[in-house]
Structure 1
Amino acid sequence: MSTPTLESAPLSADDAVPASGPLAREALALAAFDHVVAHAPGYRARPGQREMAAHIAQTLSGVRLGDGAVASDAALPDRGIAVVQAGTGVGKSAAYASTVIPLALAQQKRVIISTATVALQEQLIAKDLPALAAELPEPFSFALAKGRGRYVCRLKLDQLSGGDAASADLFESDDAASGDTDAGAGAAAQATSALASAAASARWQERGRQYTTWASALDGGTWDGDRDRLDDPPDGALWAPVAAERHTCTARHCPSYHSCSYYQARARLAQAQVIVVNHDLLLSTLGLHALPAPQDCYLVFDEAHHLGAVAQGQFTASMDLMRGQWLDKLPRAVDEVASAIEYRPTIDIAAFARELKSAQNELARLAMQRIGALPAWLDLTGRAAGRAPARGGFYDAGAPVVDRFDGGMLPADWLEVVAKLHASASCLLKVFEALATQLKANARDNPGDAARCAKLYSRLGVLAPRLQSAQETTACWLQDAGDGQPPLAKWLEAGVSHGLVTLTAHACPLQPGSLLRNHLWNQVRAAVVTSASLTTCGNFDHFLHESGLAFDGAVAAREVQSPFDHANQGRLVVVQTAADPKDVDGYTREMLGALMADLREVHRGALVLFTSRAQMRQAQALLERGEHGPLRERVLVQGEASRAVLLRRHAARVADGQPSVLFGLQSFGEGLDLPGVLCEWVFITKLPFASPSDPVGQARADWLKSQGRDPFSELVVPATGARLLQWTGRALRSETDEAVVVCYDARLLRQSYGRRMLKGLPPYRLQRRQDGVLSDV
């Protein structure tokens, strides 16, 4: 959560406007919307925007929200969820904010606006909400909420200031270690270990100087403890040891509680009537009381098409199988903490830690054997042997090897190892929980000892997440599907990072809709769910199933059309290639040849969207050749610099009258706002099907097949249609834009599933290009 920013005068209880019934509340919400449109500078009436506002007002005004509902509301529904697809240009943020916020203020309730991207959060905080607050008759305060890991822990910062390697020992990353060595490894191994220790000590001394600087800034009031407010944002290795993570925090029992950056921000956040948050944080804090209870406030989910993927990410369990040095530190940490508070564990901590490490190593060995390619290039220290191939090989950091267990079934000889790992982790976690409980009790009963207890708690806290990951992942791996229920997706993922082999175990539920229905929607009473791409292939069915809202009687869905005249402002050109896209090499060569020719026609701004990094690299390589060399100067490639830097360079080139072309992947196909001449062309190199190596997608497909269903039609086509809608949406960003979308994948016209996807796209003028000849379709 973050420090509230850009707050207006807070609303007092005496200022609330009563609304005695649903019709009055609906009228109040629409009156507020009309007032904003009429008075706010730059606002203008848009029929689609008012249609959206009216739908929201009608759906939510009839909901009894909170325990304080008046008697006349007794017959009203308990829940209302307004699902709205708002086409580009509708102005959805103004539509929902100017209706939902007045509804909430009238009932002295709060609003949570949840988004998927930082860009939209920044737009809401810096532009939309200040403009609305300036125009509504009733003032309101608003704030941006961030995860607690974005704030510094003052206790840990003080502990690590000065670079004391002894204090830092438990914070050291396993990645810095060279791996376990036998006692008889010899002088060379001992010398290597000594050098590694010296390097670690020097590293912590350097970090300590930075931590001291930050502590001084906190003391001097020039920094508020928010990572994002540092002039030079730190990398993860520097920040992680001092982050205010939940596992290392004793909360109100910490002696630094009243000066804690996180809790100060949370206290200020409690005063805001409108909170802007992201989907990840909202889902991860359900039940933790970090945000207002969903059942007692109005929720808005913008960019809601991301909800399913975010839910699956939140409930994916994973554990590292390669780094075990933390288990060597665990017995000493537990012994020091237990001795300090005179607690005697009921188990042999060292023995259980050894058993856990042994089981982890055995599981890693089994995984290496299963993957097969690993032993040939892995040395015993866990480092990659030999040179990495340029691309396409196992060493490509962007292409890890994924090995999935069909049907979520582990090999029989793995079960005993996984069970041992789970049992050891569970027993150790119980000890951690007992120690944590005792430390908090000691701090509560003896405030003078709170500082010592908090430091001891943080020593356990840096180890607890890894232990919890091991316990949760192995629990999932041991779980079998119930009758008629889909199994969990279970898989291994291996790769190389910074010259070290990585090997992780994962597990994930297959149905995001069930997760959201069970963990979110059963707590929500009034919500707006919106995006520019909720329908796919012409209907809401896929989104409603993926988001857990299918068959929910509280849902009222509406599609609001974009105000753009797509047929006159834009064209969608489908190129007919001789090679079929299934012939990857032949199609790619032909497609890239056509793309190079088309790029020569770009005189201002263009965007090229690729379906894979390998495909984008092939295009880059082609640009380096003599015949296409002049084009290379026009192209900016995702990854060459930060997204913000690339967009600034792109805008500067176009402003100078030069052609500029952005090369990007999926993240550039969504949320990228390039109005006017910044994007007169969008080139789509291939239909954006999901990666066939996605283990969760594969597992879902297998399960649907086992149920006699068609995963391609039910999952793949709608999901691809939704991505295609996002990609084509980069072309027109205002009612005066003119742009051409070129898709080189003729399956969009030739195949029945392609024509299904077309039904969900805006009504561009549709053309086919074959052998250089254009014709209308």
Structure 2
Amino acid sequence: MRGSMTNAESRDDPDDLPQGALAREAIALAAFDHVVSHAPGFRARGGQREMAAFIAETLSGVKLGDDSVSGEAGPPDRGIAVVQAGTGVGKSAAYAATVIPLALAQQKRVLISTATVALQEQLINKDLPALAALMPQPFAYALAKGRGRYVCRLKLDQLAEGGAQDADLFGEEGAGAASAAAKDDWAQRARQYAQWTIALDQGDWNGDRDRLDEPPDAALWAPVAAERHTCTARHCPAYNSCSYYQARNRLAQAQVIVVNHDLLLATLGLHALPAPSDCYLVLDEAHHLPGVAQGQFTSQMDLMRPGWLDPLPKAFDEVAKAISHRHNLDVAEAARAAKAALGELAHLGMDLLGPAVRELPAEAPPLVHRFDAGVLPPGWAEPLGSLQAHAQGLLKLAEALATQLRANARDNPGEAARSAEHYARIGRFAPRLQSLHETASQWLLMASEGAPPQAKWLQARVDRGLVAMSAHACPLQPGSLLHSHLWQQVRGAVVTSASLVTCGSFDHFLHEAGLAWDAAVATREVQSPFDHAKQGRLVVVQTRADPKDVDGYTREMLDLLLADLRDVKRGALVLFTSRAQMRSAQQLLERGEHARLRERVLAQGEASRTVLLKRHAQRVGDGEASILFGLQSFGEGLDLPGELCEWVFITKLPFASPSDPVGQARAEWLKSKGRDPFSELVVPATGARLLQWTGRALRTETDEATVVCYDARLLRQGYGRRMLQGLPPYRLQRRQAGVTADV
């Protein structure tokens, strides 16, 4: 175990704990031991029980649902177990077999949040059913999905009957889909909607988008997707047959709910999931949490397509008249002023970006302009202030109309259908109005002295021959937002991943996740059961070209890579740091002398990930060599045991893109404080990514694999050696001029 004494470890006197806490700890560990002793084919894993015991100890005294417990409290009233579990520990069984019995004993619930669909499916289809079969006390479990994954029955019925003319009722997305479909035979889409209606009526489909035989494209699905802003909930005439609320009812019966990080953060305060203060929260794949939080708290608005504001006055005025709602807002003037402000901001943006945006190729990445220190040039504040004020006025009116419509639907059931239509007509505008108000507010916000500013930037691209420009704003520190929005509500949690320790320390993750100063946090690093030094090698290749010489390094690295790929007899994975780098490798393989090698390569983007992995397994199973080419998404979550991955080739240290505006803004702010952003941010983040990439090599205790990294900075530079401290203890070797030797 690495690290300093934690809060949980410091509780070395059992007499200091309440008897109830000791009893709960005993219950949790006894349940874990019962499960593993009755699991068929189970092999004892010391690390797994270490993790289970640590979780049981940390959570034993927490007080769920106790409003008297402060969100700043430490143990035993609050407990947050932060666990890095090395590959092979079996972390999902360690936390599930411990936390679930702990919750059941108190008649509480468990919320398990993940970052990827793959882990959600593993939990729902494999881990939780197996655990439920072994535990003496039964429990129900369910998967929570966002509202937009379910069909809105009201929309579906009307579009199945009316076709394109009704699409505008349900928002700009629907209208856009209808417009595009008009060229593509809207009647065919209406027939598809009618088929879905029949499938629902006959019980052949439950309204879940993911349960359709053929996943629908966005243009087909958007007009019928359920949305919060257009939903009157129990006041809707289709409520009793609503797929989303039927799923919500199933969640209400479940003791264990599986969700993703996005939905967890998006629904805080909306009562869609158990309150974090009254359940045990498990965050698996927790290294993704800061990035997800940053995305959740980023606001943006479209500057170039304000036409959606044109029908707003008519819609608001007609609905207000229909329900006899009196108000003092000149809706037409407010919409006109908001549109004019957007036009002025677009004009300022085009002046700022210059001719470069007009010459931008359609396939090029977006052009980004970031405002240094979040300070806007003269002339921006006035249109932003106008936009903020008028968007706020329209939002308040929309909320007032929605409130009255809900009351009408409740008090006059016979008018529920008409009220639902009015509600949808108003609700279609709410998300866009919120985007305008939030983004304008963030752009006008000036940081208080000493506090980090907002990252503010413009982004432009060419879309079907037209310039598309958007304004974005994002807080610089996701940790502070997570602390205030999530952790202050949490009483008992497990935070786990295989890559929380970077450069030998939890510090970077704890700071980014908002846990660095939380008194309830206890950390533990549980080592992998693998013998990395015996099972694997990490070979660092010394190139003549410096990696900073992009062209020279890429040419030399690719020559070395292709030579190494000829030694592959079974499965291999090549991880590239950019699409351009991978494309260069593919182009090199097109040459005649590499034709045979090219036949072995399966590159990301040639087919879906599922199809590529199936082909890869088929080839290796047939005794052939198969080589996967991939980018960052292939560096995490791929489980390729045994011969499926005997080699991992890393083309370069996986630093984040230097063009990321949020990263640039954070670096700028740290520099202004005399701090080193490269050391504080870049190196730990790259170390975490490298840990994931090298972790693709060994997946079981019988695997043998070699990791080859062509970036000698890993050994040559001090920051590279810092990254090495956080990697598994592979046998370390250096290759120079074709000669390989131990380091």
TM over 0.5: yes
Match of 2:362 in 1: 395
Q: Report the equivalent of 1:629.
A: 595
Aligned to 1:385: none
The residue correspondences of 1:188-587 to structure 2 (distance < 5 A) are 200=182, 203-374=185-356, 376-377=358-359, 394-396=361-363, 399-587=365-553
Q: Could you report, residue by residue, the CA deviation over 1:380-430 in whole angstroms, capped at 9, with x for unpaired residues? A: xxxxxxxxxxxxx64325x21111111011111111111122122111112
Alpha-carbon distance in 1 for matches of 2:497, 2:75: 27
Deviations 1:355-381 (A, max 9, x none): 21222122112212212245644xxxx
Deviation of 1:130 (Å): 0.7
**How many angstroms does 1:172 deviate by?**
6.9
Structure 1 partner of 2:634: 668
Q: Conserved in 2, the CA contact under 8 Å of 1:574 and 1:746? A: yes
Tell me the secondary structure at the aligned position of residue 563 of structure 1.
Answer: coil
For residue 164 of structure 1, report the CA deviation from its aligned partner.
Answer: 3.1
Is the 2:173–2:223 contact (alpha carbons within 8 Å) kept by the matching residues of 1?
A: no
Q: Partner amino acid for 2:577?
A: T
- Partner deviation per Cα, 1:616-643 (whole Å, 9 max, x = no partner): 1111111111222222111111111111
- Label 1:75 to 1:648 Cα distance change in 2 as closer, same or farther (>3 A): closer
Kept in 2, the 8 Å contact 1:63–1:526? The answer is: yes
Alignment-derived partner of residue 12 in structure 2:
none
8 A contact 1:162–1:208 mirrored in 2: yes
Aligned ranges 1:625-704 → 2 under 5 Å: 625-704=591-670
Q: Which residue of 1 aligns with 2:157?
A: 158
In structure 2, relative to structure 1, the CA distance for the partners of 1:758 and 1:545 (3 Å cut) is: same
Residue type at the aligned position of 2:312: L
Once the two structures are TM-superposed, the CA of residue 36 in structure 1 deviates from its matched residue by: 1.1
Taking only the aligned residue pairs, the percentage that are identical comes to: 76
Please give the alpha-carbon distance, in whole angstroms, between the structure 1 residues aligned to 2:434 and 2:706. Answer: 51
User: Following the alignment from structure 2 to structure 1, what is the Cα–Cα distance between the partners of residues 355 and 623?
Assistant: 51
Q: What is the SS of the residue equivalent to 2:450? A: coil
3-state SS of paired residue (1:530): strand
Most deviating of 59-68 and 165-174 = 165-174
Alignment of 1:582-601 (within 5 A): 582-601=548-567
Q: Which residue of 2 aligns with 1:148?
A: 147
Q: How many Å separate the matches in 1 of 2:654 and 2:53? A: 35
Residue type at the aligned position of 1:116: A
2:532 touches 2:728 (CA, 8 Å); kept in 1?
A: yes
Q: Give 1:163 deviation, angstroms.
A: 4.4
- Letter of the 1:100 counterpart: V
Please say if residues 156 and 242 of structure 1, whose CA atoms lie closer than 8 Å, have aligned partners that are also in contact: yes
What secondary structure sits across from 2:310 in the alignment?
helix
> Deviation above 6 Å: which 4+ runs of structure 1?
174-178, 196-199
Q: Give the distance between the partners of 1:657 and 1:62, measured in 2 at CA.
A: 54
CA contact (8 A) 1:170 1:329 kept: no
With over 3 angstroms needed to count, the CA separation of the structure-2 counterparts of 1:333 and 1:519, relative to structure 1, is same
Counterpart for residue 109 of structure 1 = 108
**Partners in 1 of 2:418 and 2:450 — Cα distance?**
52
Answer whether contact 2:174 2:223 (CA < 8 A) is retained: no
Shift of 1:175: 11
Is 1:728 matched with 2:657? no
Post-superposition offset of 1:332? 2.3
Distance 1:237-1:20 versus aligned 2 partners, 3 A rule: farther
Does the CA contact (< 8 Å) of 2:170 and 2:424 recur in 1? no
Correspondence for 2:737: 771
Counterpart Cα distance in 1 of 2:358 and 2:180: 32
Distance in 2 separating the partners of 1:594 and 1:175: 52
Task: Report if the CA contact (8 A) 1:163-1:205 is conserved.
Answer: no
- Report the 3-state secondary structure (helix = DSSP H, G, I; strand = E; otherwise coil) of the residue aligned with 2:368: strand
After superposition, the Cα gap between the structure-2 partners of 1:768 and 1:652, relative to the gap in structure 1 and judged at 3 Å, is same
Deviations 1:413-472 (A, max 9, x none): 111111122122111112111111111111111111011000111112222111111111
- Residues 577-632 of structure 1 show CA distances to partners (whole Å, capped at 9, x for unaligned) of 00101111111111111111111111111111111111111111111112222221
**Displacement of 1:348:** 2.3
Alpha-carbon distance in 1 for matches of 2:174, 2:544? 49
Q: Name the amino acid aligned to 1:592.
A: L
Amino acid corresponding to residue 252 of structure 1 in structure 2? R
TM-score (norm 1): 0.90
Aligned residues: 723
Q: Distance in 2 between matches of 1:145 and 1:500?
A: 39
Distance across 2 between alignment mates of 1:199 and 1:154: 21
| Structure-2 change in CA distance of 1:407 and 1:334 (3 Å) | same
The answer as to whether partners of 1:174 and 1:325 remain within 8 angstroms in 2 is: no
Structure 1, unaligned stretches of length 5 or more?
A: 1-18, 179-195, 378-392
Tell me, yes or no, if the aligned pair for 1:248 and 1:458 is still in contact at 8 Å: yes
Q: Secondary structure at the match of 2:295?
A: helix
TM-score, normalising length: structure 2: 0.94
Alpha-carbon separation, structure 1, partners of 2:189 and 2:199: 15
Equivalent-residue separation in structure 1 for 2:539 and 2:514 (angstroms): 35
Query: How far apart, CA to CA, are the structure 2 residues paired with 1:229 and 1:484?
Result: 51
Deviates more, 1:700-709 or 1:329-338: 329-338
Which SS does the other structure have where 1:57 is aligned?
helix
